[in-house]
Amino acid sequence: MKILIADDSRVMRQIVVRTLRQAGHGGHDIVEAENGKQALELVQSEQPDLVLSDWNMPEMTGIDCLSALRASGSTVKFGFVTSEGSDEMRERAAAAGAAFLIAKPFTPEAFDDALRSVI
């Protein structure tokens, strides 16, 4: 399985990779994007099975990336890993087609629970 991790923080991308490993999902190919625009391009070129995206990023937000993917006909599985965990954000994410939203700070168990629903 190929997972695209989109976050403008390199450190946060590394934390997500480490948490995936701790949750028992460490054997996957990882592709990284620094913003939503790059993630959108990488979904087309790399064909990941899952996108894990921050919400707030420069150039293009995660929610705008998801909306652009769905508008282009992409059905790639997409979840948010973000500090924005309000009910309103969860509703916006679900309405846009996200499979889940994991709020920071997160645990390996939260990743495992979310990923089991899409893997």
63-93 pLDDT, tens digit per residue, is 999 999 999 999 999 999 999 789 999 999 9
Is pLDDT above 90 for 117? no
Buried b (16+ CB within 10 A) or exposed e, 4-27: bbbbbeeebbebbbebbeebebee
Residue holding tokens 């099975």?
A: 49
Q: How far apart are alpha carbons 78 and 66 in whole angstroms?
A: 7
Q: How far apart are alpha carbons 70 and 93 in whole angstroms?
A: 12
What pLDDT digit, counting tens, does each position of 22-48 carry?
999 988 999 999 999 999 999 999 999
Q: Which fold has domain 2-117?
A: Rossmann fold (3.40.50)
